[in-house]
């Protein structure tokens, strides 16, 4: 499935440098079109501001939005890229210095901030049904759950995502496209943003989704060590493994609770498990995973036949798969096989990022689905909405293509120690709190692996009072489900306010 997703990221890439950059823009009214014709080059240092209001939790909230880009410089001060952002700032605030500021990233690593901007925390959200499926006509509506009532938000598109671009074809992608390169230049960019908008005094937060959790975990330490910027909170939405090792038996075993959640949703479990509520059933599976399944897998080929059959029967019971399939795969069920096998007899595959979504393959045989059922559904609704929003409501005028997925490969994954980076940042900054948010039906960044990351993040156990986890009855983008949009934003709001120290409270152990 990784190959399928990678291909999706690379499709539709355009040449950015076929024409010369635009002439000087008139940013006062958002006219970014070149005076002499259309262009697909980014204005690296320009912005447009519009004013709006929204009702959040029954309260009227006036705000302004600045959509634009700021430069990225190299070590010699040469401009090498422009990073596009949308900055949502509540107006009429008496003390802006005390107002929290949230920097929001999505993942990919080649995707823009569109998902959380118009799906989760922003004041405008896309029109979808109550479970998150596309509806037409496309469009947006006010978000009564947005966190804009308690915090200002900056949505950031890393280089070659959204409208962000390098400054010229001679700028090598290797300066941006890698775990550590990404963190380094974005930390510099955040410093520039904070200075431009005079937000040095504000409590600061990082929110990342999917690969964005790798990004913000690294940024928590890079901001502190290289920019002297200390953040109050880091939120990991559907986190990656953060470079925390879990290969072999651990990797295989940790998938099972997600399998159980998915099978429960599709009513594929035995009746005694099916009649329990999801969160009442899962602790049983989690206990089996840690105390029986993981040790059994560790025995490998030397496990006794009787023990192997006993474990296979339980894995089948909790996963909804036939015991024969579990035995044929030596107790280790890959995610691809699970997505293909669970509903094979019903003629459907299930989604990778959200297993509530169903797909139809060319043939029922095989070991993996033909496509990601959920991803194509999301692109269906998000792509028109973000283009309408930026170009029409926010008045950002450009002929640039908005990259939902942009060309950022090859991506350098070497030296990924972002989980350890986050631990060090927490250790060095007693103010820093971390919250993890997971959807039970996310098969790419599953909820139990997220819990495992939280357990392993601080082996000393001395900082666990600053670590928390929340689960939701949806998938990777848990906020697309109407009920979870409300709940997850409430959890964010509570986290932001909780992580602000009381007046006079010193940062010390």
DSSP 21: P
- pLDDT at residue 449, rounded to an integer: 98
Q: Is the pLDDT of residue 173 over 70?
A: yes
Secondary structure of the chain: what % helix, strand, coil (to 5)? 40, 20, 40
- pLDDT at residue 35, rounded to an integer: 40
CA distance 199 to 197: 6
- Residue 432's CB: how many other CB atoms inside 10 A? 23
- pLDDT at residue 451, rounded to an integer: 98
- Residue 309's CB: how many other CB atoms inside 10 A? 13
Q: How far is CA 290 from CA 131, 225, 246, 250, in A?
A: 32, 37, 13, 9
Residue burial 486-502, b: 16+ Cβ < 10 Å; e: rest: ebbbebbbebbeebbee
- pLDDT at residue 41, rounded to an integer: 87
| 126: Cβ contacts below 8 Å, ≥ 6 apart | 118, 119, 138, 139, 140, 141, 381, 382, 385
- pLDDT at residue 21, rounded to an integer: 33
- pLDDT at residue 336, rounded to an integer: 98
CA distance 6 to 2: 6
Q: What are the residue boundaries of the structural domains of the chain, listed by start? A: 68-244+405-498, 249-374
The token duo for 81 is 């890229």
The whole model's pTM is what? 0.92
CA distance 328 to 333: 9
Q: Is the pLDDT of residue 18 over 50?
A: no
Domain 68-244+405-498 classified CATH 3.40.630.10? no
Q: Is the pLDDT of residue 495 over 80?
A: yes
Q: What is the pLDDT of residues 312-341, one digit of tens each?
A: 999 999 999 999 999 999 999 999 999 999
Q: What is the pLDDT of residues 432-462, one digit of tens each?
A: 999 999 999 999 999 999 999 999 999 999 9
- pLDDT at residue 417, rounded to an integer: 97
Q: What percent of the chain has pLDDT over 70?
A: 92
Q: How far is CA 40 from CA 23, 159, 206, in A?
A: 12, 15, 31
């Amino acid at each position: 499935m990784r190959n399928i997703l990678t291909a999706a990221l690379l499709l539709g890439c355009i040449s950015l440098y076929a024409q010369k950059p635009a002439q000087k823009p008139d940013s006062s009214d958002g006219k970014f079109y070149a005076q002499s014709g259309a262009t697909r080059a980014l204005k690296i240092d320009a912005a447009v501001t519009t004013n709006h209001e929204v009702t959040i939790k029954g309260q009227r909230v006036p705000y302004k939005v600045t959509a634009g880009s700021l430069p990225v410089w190299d070590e010699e001060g040469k401009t090498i890229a422009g990073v596009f952002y949308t900055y949502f700032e509540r107006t009429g605030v008496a003390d802006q210095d005390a107002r929290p500021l949230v920097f929001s990233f999505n993942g990919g690593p080649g995707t823009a901030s569109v998902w959380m901007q118009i799906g989760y925390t922003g004041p405008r959200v896309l029109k979808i049904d109550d479970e998150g499926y596309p509806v037409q006509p496309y469009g947006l509506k006010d978000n009564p759950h947005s966190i804009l009532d308690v915090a200002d938000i900056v949505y950031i598109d890393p280089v070659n995502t959204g409208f962000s671009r390098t400054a010229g074809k001679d700028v090598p992608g290797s300066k941006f496209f890698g775990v550590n390169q990404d963190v380094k230049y974005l930390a510099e960019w955040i410093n520039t943003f904070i200075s431009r908008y005079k937000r040095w005094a504000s409590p600061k937060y990082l929110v990342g989704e999917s690969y964005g959790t790798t990004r913000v975990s690294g940024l928590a330490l890079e901001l502190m060590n290289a920019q002297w910027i200390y953040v109050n909170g880091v939120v990991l939405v559907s986190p990656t493994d953060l470079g925390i090792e879990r290969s072999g038996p651990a990797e295989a075993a940790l998938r099972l609770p997600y399998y159980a959640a998915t099978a429960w949703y599709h009513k594929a479990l035995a009746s005694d498990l099916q009649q329990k509520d999801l969160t009442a059933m899962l602790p049983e599976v989690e206990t089996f995973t840690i105390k029986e399944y993981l040790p059994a897998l560790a025995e490998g080929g030397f496990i006794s036949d009787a023990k192997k059959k006993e474990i296979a029967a339980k894995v089948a019971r909790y996963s909804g798969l036939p015991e024969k399939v579990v035995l044929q795969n030596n107790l280790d069920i890959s995610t691809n096989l699970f997505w293909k096998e669970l509903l094979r007899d019903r003629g459907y595959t299930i989604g990778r990022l959200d297993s509530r979504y169903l797909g139809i393959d060319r043939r029922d045989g095989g070991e993996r689905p033909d496509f990601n059922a959920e991803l194509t559904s999301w692109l269906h609704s998000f792509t028109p909405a973000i283009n309408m929003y930026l170009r029409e409501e926010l008045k950002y005028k450009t002929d640039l293509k908005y990259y939902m997925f942009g060309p950022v490969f090859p991506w350098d994954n070497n030296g990924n120690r972002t989980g350890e980076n986050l631990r060090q940042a927490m250790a060095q900054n007693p103010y820093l709190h971390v919250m993890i948010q997971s959807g039970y039906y996310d098969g790419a960044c599953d909820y139990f692996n997220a819990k495992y990351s939280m357990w392993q993040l601080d082996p000393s156990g001395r900082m666990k009072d600053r670590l928390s986890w929340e689960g939701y009855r949806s998938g990777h983008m848990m906020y697309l489900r109407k009920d979870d949009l409300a709940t997850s934003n409430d959890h964010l709001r509570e986290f932001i306010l909780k992580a602000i120290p009381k007046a006079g409270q010193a940062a010390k152990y």
